[in-house]
């Protein structure tokens, strides 16, 4: 049995309370990973073109600030 299958089986056996805690933890894990990717992309300049495009759209009235 693979590690993934073991995890799936363990998750399926969680109590409703533990499952809710697991879901909250897992969601936060995803948010943290996304934040690190954004930080890395910003620091490396990989997002510069997207930022410029968004600012251009904003200045030309093709989008709005919220």
Q: Encode pLDDT of 9-66 as tens digits.
A: 999 999 999 999 999 999 999 999 899 999 998 899 998 999 899 999 988 988 876 6
Both structure tokens of 37: 């990717």
DSSP label at residue 47: T
Q: Is the pLDDT of residue 8 over 90?
A: yes
| pTM tops 0.85 | no
pLDDT computed for residue 66 by the predictor: 67
Q: How many CB atoms lie within 10 A of CB 11?
A: 13
């Amino acid at each position: 049995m693979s590690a993934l299958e073991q995890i799936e089986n363990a998750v399926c056996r969680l109590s409703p309370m533990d499952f809710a805690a697991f879901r909250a933890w897992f969601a936060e894990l995803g948010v943290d990973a996304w934040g690190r990717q954004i930080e890395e992309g910003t620091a490396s300049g990989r997002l510069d073109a997207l930022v410029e495009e968004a600012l251009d759209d904003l200045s030309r009235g093709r989008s709005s600030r919220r």
